[in-house]
Amino acid sequence: MKNNKMNLAERVLAPTPKWFKILRTVGIALASIGGIIIASPVALPVGIVSAAGYLILGGSIITAVSQTGVKSEEKADPEK
């Protein structure tokens, strides 16, 4: 399997499966929502601001992990 021998730069630049593209988009949206909440000019309760920090963290992690997913080049063998 060729995918096991890829370095990080090759993984990021390789084609990404459709499911991981969807997850990447969701992660970017979550991080953006968290940033908007934190940067809002209105005084918000502490719980909402701390939840926004977790949105940024979770969205960033989802985005980074989803970007490193690569399409498999192997074909399934029906005999196995």
19-75 pLDDT, tens digit each: 999 999 999 999 999 999 999 989 999 999 999 999 999 999 999 999 888 877 655
CA 46 to chain centre: 26
Quote the pTM value.
0.75
Q: Largest Cα–Cα distance in the chain?
A: 63
* Separation between Cα atoms, residue 2 and residue 4, nearest integer Å: 6
What local confidence, expressed as pLDDT, does residue 54 receive? 97
How many other C-beta atoms lie within 10 A of the C-beta of residue 20?
17
| pLDDT of 7 above 60 | yes
Sign of torsion over alpha carbons 12, 27, 46, 40: positive
Q: Are 9 and 65 a contacting pair, CB within 8 Å?
A: no
